[in-house]
Amino acid sequence: MGTDYAHSVLGALEKVDKWADALPVLLPDATALLRDALDLMRELGGASDREDLSYIHQPSISDHEQNNDFNEWTELIVMTRDAWLTATDADPEMAKIEVKRWLGIHYPVFRRLAFFAAAQRPDLIDEGLALGSLLSDDHYWLWTSMTRRETIRLIASLSTRISPEQSERLQAAINNGPRPRCSAMI
Amino acid sequence: MLLASGSRSWNGLDEAMKHMARWLARHLGNSELFLWVIARGGNLHPQFEWELRRRLKDDPPSPSLQVLWALLLSGRVKSRSKHHDLYSWSDRLKAQGLTPTLRFELNSALAPVVKFSRPYRWPSAEGTPEERKTSVSTLFNGK
């Protein structure tokens, strides 16, 4: 980024009301900036539709002691997440639309954000959409280590609210195990 | 008179420097030129930039160097002139709330750029041409 201390400046704004008011407005910008970061990594061979370094640089989308500030770009993950969380109250419709937008951006970090959102606010994200995105791409996201933490939380959240048919679909996918293409990733 | 620097103020080039720009641009297939430009601050004299663009089109270097030059020419490489003061931005946000101008400024300050650094090498270890070539791909240091 054009600045070297985004983590400390934006971290210090956490409890500032005007920042909380600004965040929902900044949600589309945060998504676009994060996408730019991933596109740059793709240009340099460091990211693809199915792989990126987010699971190493930012092991958890929710706050976690394993997350650190060593890589400036991870502040964009935090900002996107926080912008979305504030938008769920300020403008729930926009928050829902943004999750659909994330699902259309082909990098694991956006899939992680979508899984996080679906587990965090089941009232906003339809379980059919959540389950569909989990089992899409030949069940890749169910098994890959790229999204594992958020995948497991989403499964835990879905297990309490999906219909018997949906539950059967999920169990069948789990029982079938990873497809040969995915097994190398585990 | 500079061909690459950390600031964006430029004077016209005299004939000797124009030749120098043309001569240097002929070496864009050499990663040392790219590293030299980055070390000088990453901003190019418009005339030198024009020479580089022309050369990239007429006589493209290796695919990896093409990507690196393209990133530099599109402003996606960290340069010393594009430093943003986020502390001042944060003070103004606290005072005014988010204004369109503050939104533009934040977008520019947080725009991802690539940071390059020269890989460390023992002074005696020059490496074979092949080793020197592969080191280019390991320069990426994250953002």
The answer to whether the beta carbons of residues A102 and A114 sit under 8 Å apart is yes
pLDDT (0 to 100) of residue A182: 52
pLDDT (0 to 100) of residue B10: 62
Regions in chain A scoring below 70 on pLDDT: 2-4, 181-186
Across B55-77, b (16+ Cβ under 10 Å) vs e yields: bbeeeebeebbebbbebbeeebb
CA–CA separation, A39 and B70 (whole Å):
14
**pLDDT confidence band for B121 (50 / 70 / 90):** low
Q: Report ipTM (2 d.p.).
A: 0.90
Max intra-chain CA distance, chain A: 50
CA–CA separation, A130 and A135 (whole Å):
9
> What mean pLDDT is reported for chain A?
93
pLDDT (0 to 100) of residue A179: 78
Summarize pLDDT for A69-121 with one digit per residue, the tens: 788 899 999 999 999 999 999 999 999 999 999 999 999 999 999 999 999 99
B82 is written with which tokens?
């594009």
pLDDT (0 to 100) of residue A7: 87
The answer to whether the beta carbons of residues A33 and A86 sit under 8 Å apart is no
Summarize pLDDT for B63-74 with one digit per residue, the tens: 999 999 999 999
Contacting residues for A49 by C-beta, under 8 A, at least 6 apart: A106, A107
To test the contact with chain B by mutation, choose from A3, A10, A31 the residue with the greatest count of B C-beta atoms within 10 A, namely A3
Summarize pLDDT for B19-74 with one digit per residue, the tens: 999 999 999 999 999 998 988 888 889 999 999 999 999 999 999 999 999 999 99
CA nearest neighbour of A105 among A1, A44, A32, A174: A32
| Helix (H) or strand (E) segment spanning residue A47 | none
Query: Which residues of chain A neighbour B142 with C-beta distances below 8 Å?
Result: 57, 71-73
Domains of chain A by residue range:
6-183
The answer to whether the beta carbons of residues A141 and A111 sit under 8 Å apart is yes
Mark out chain B residues that contact chain A at CB-CB < 8 A: 67, 71, 76, 78, 82-87, 89-90, 93-94, 96-98, 103, 106-114, 137, 140, 142-143
Other CB atoms within 10 Å distance of the CB of residue A156? 10
